[in-house]
Amino acid sequence: MKRNKTAFDLIAFDADDTLWDTESLYRGIEARFKTMMASYGIASVDPTMHDNEIRNLQYYGYGLKGFILSLIETAIELTGGRLGGNDVSQMLAWAKEMQTAPIRLREHAQTTVAALSASYPLLLITKGDLLDQEAKLTRSGLSPYFRDIEVVSEKTQHTYAAILARHRVEPSRFLMVGNSLKSDILPVVTLGGHAVYIPAHLLWEHEAVSPPTEGREQQYVEMEHLGLLVPWIASLTEGDRDHA
């Protein structure tokens, strides 16, 4: 009998809103910011806030620091420079609050990565601030299950190709698991890798893209929750054994 091979040589996970909840934290701070702006008589916040955040990605990158700096810039702009020092201090305090907020794991996250780490090397691939992402992984309790962490400025086909080259893994032997079609799924399948899409309840509008209209079943698998991942991977290895 042939020795049963693993389905993949490397499995990678996105972090924010795949393994733990993040977007709701940002939405909560945005709600507080709108309340602050209302005290200046400003009702329309969203267009300026979102435009500044996206434009500033080229300067600050992803993560809470760029988010807070964009809020401060937005507040100065919307108030015509009337923004008070106490409110600036309050927004800086929000950044520290976000950086130390408890990690809320998504359902099945711990059991899934624990089970897979017994048979596969696991990698975390995430956008954001290096210190913040490393700290969140530590606070999540999931750090022991991951061989390495890659914090990148963007998740593009080129980014994934470079990561796989460093880890000496062929795209056809790579699986990416994430909640963003734009960042986690489509670049990987374009490269020739495999992907599992697990939508989150909340999605940052910058990450929103339309799914492919044709051939989706050949490109990636969509699952309702992480708890379905382990049996799906097991079914792939069972299929290989049946044909051995």
pLDDT in tens, 75-134: 999 999 999 999 999 999 999 999 999 999 999 999 999 999 999 999 999 988 888 899
| Residue 3 maps to a domain | no
Do 81 and 126 fall within a single domain? Answer: no
Do 120 and 177 fall within a single domain? Answer: yes
Do 116 and 86 fall within a single domain? Answer: no
Instruction: Residue 178: give its domain's CATH number.
Output: 3.40.50.1000
Do 66 and 120 fall within a single domain? Answer: no
For residues 164 and 176, give the distance between their C-alpha atoms in angstroms, rounded to a whole number.
11
Local confidence band at 210 (pLDDT 50, 70, 90 cut-offs) = low
Between 181-190, 198-207, 227-236, the lowest mean confidence (pLDDT) is in 198-207
For residues 222 and 67, give the distance between their C-alpha atoms in angstroms, rounded to a whole number.
30
* Domain-ending residue, one of 71, 99, 127: 99
Q: What is the mean pLDDT of the chain?
A: 89
Residues 178 and 185: beta-carbon distance below 8 Å: yes
pLDDT exceeds 50 at position 2? no
| Residue 132 maps to a domain | yes
Do 220 and 140 fall within a single domain? Answer: yes
* Domain-ending residue, one of 80, 99, 118: 99
Do 78 and 92 fall within a single domain? Answer: yes
* Domain-ending residue, one of 99, 123, 157: 99
Do 122 and 231 fall within a single domain? Answer: yes
Do 49 and 112 fall within a single domain? Answer: no
| Residue 2 maps to a domain | no
Do 149 and 231 fall within a single domain? Answer: yes
Range of the domain at 32: 23-99
Do 119 and 130 fall within a single domain? Answer: yes
Question: What is residue 211's predicted lDDT score, i.e. its pLDDT?
Answer: 67
Total domain count, the chain: 2
Do 62 and 75 fall within a single domain? Answer: yes
| Residue 214 maps to a domain | yes
| Residue 52 maps to a domain | yes
Do 234 and 137 fall within a single domain? Answer: yes
Instruction: Residue 33: give its domain's CATH number.
Output: 1.10.150.240
| Residue 116 maps to a domain | yes
